[in-house]
Amino acid sequence: ETGVTQTPRHLVMGMTNKKSLKCEQHLGHNAMYWYKQSAKKPLELMFVYSLEERVENNSVPSRFSPECPNSSHLFLHLHTLQPEDSALYLCASSQDEGTDTGELFFGEGSRLTVL
Amino acid sequence: KNQVEQSPQSLIILEGKNCTLQCNYTVSPFSNLRWYKQDTGRGPVSLTIMTFSENTKSNGRYTATLDADTKQSSLHITASQLSDSASYICVVDGFSGGYNKLIFGAGTRLAVHP
């Protein structure tokens, strides 16, 4: 139990569906992240929120839309995805001090399959 | 270009044996280097975080070393157990690049067999 909870753990969707991934952290951290993990590739940073403000949007296609309603919750809204978007989506949180990124605590991930 | 290269890509060892995983990086300058363990189907979990001034750091049977001059790090696992089967990810935290400053390696997949 890392203190970061992701739901759902598994999701299968068609290319025309709309779905959302949810992340909740119970650690009191001030930053939250979405990462994409594809097989045999390094984790790719997608979005970063610091104090509920989006501070990084790493050239992610608009079919992925993040939302951070408060410092404990993070969503990733999915719309008209492509089969190549199938991957493990990881949420993480950290307590950052200025420009120093604190230790990352990851959730268990949401395994997404796009048919 | 900032990169983190890990070797080997995969490794099989027998239970009870030791092993060493390698991480070479080109990130410069950097703030710290991290090792994570990721069990299959789970999220990564932090093992160690070392600043550039630290040469070695241990966490139980895991010992990480860092040579900032040659830009190399290693993770040594002693007396391996079946539960050590996982992917091990090296991450270098650079000073620049905003929140993109965490550079991830592709990981080494370790299988420990009885």
Per-residue confidence (pLDDT) for residue A79, from 0 to 100: 93
Long-range CB pairs of B19-22, under 8 A, 24+ apart, other chains included: B19/B76, B19/B77, B19/B80, B19/B110, B20/B74, B20/B75, B20/B76, B20/B77, B21/B74, B21/B75, B21/B76, B21/B77, B21/B88, B21/B90, B21/B108, B21/B110, B22/B72, B22/B73, B22/B74, B22/B108
Per-residue confidence (pLDDT) for residue B84, from 0 to 100: 98
Cβ-defined contact of B49 to A103 (cutoff 8 Å): yes
- pLDDT classification of B28: cutoffs 50, 70, 90: confident
- pLDDT classification of B92: cutoffs 50, 70, 90: very high
Of residues A2, A56, A111, nearest to B100 (C-beta): A56
With contacts defined as CB-CB under 8 Å, which chain A residues touch B41? 108-109, 111
Per-residue confidence (pLDDT) for residue B45, from 0 to 100: 95
Give the B-side interface with A, CB within 8 Å.
4, 9, 31, 34, 41-46, 49, 89, 93, 95, 98-107
Mean pLDDT across chain B, nearest whole number?
92
- pLDDT classification of B99: cutoffs 50, 70, 90: low
Of residues B44, B100, B107, nearest to A106 (C-beta): B44
Where do runs of H (alpha helix) occur along chain A? none
Top pLDDT among A99 and B46 is at: B46
**Spans in chain A with pLDDT lower than 70:** 98-99
- Of B6, B5, B23, B3, which Cα lies nearest the Cα of B97? B3
Report, as an integer, the average pLDDT of B55-80.
96
d(CA B13, nearest CA chain A) in Å: 20
Cβ-defined contact of A55 to B98 (cutoff 8 Å): yes
Per-residue confidence (pLDDT) for residue B4, from 0 to 100: 94
Of residues B4, B89, B102, nearest to A101 (C-beta): B102
Per-residue confidence (pLDDT) for residue B97, from 0 to 100: 57
Nearest CA in chain B to A109: B43
- Of B44, B99, B69, B41, which Cα lies nearest the Cα of A33? B99
Cβ-defined contact of B43 to A111 (cutoff 8 Å): no
Per-residue confidence (pLDDT) for residue A46, from 0 to 100: 93
Top pLDDT among B94 and A108 is at: A108
Of residues B4, B41, B93, nearest to A101 (C-beta): B93
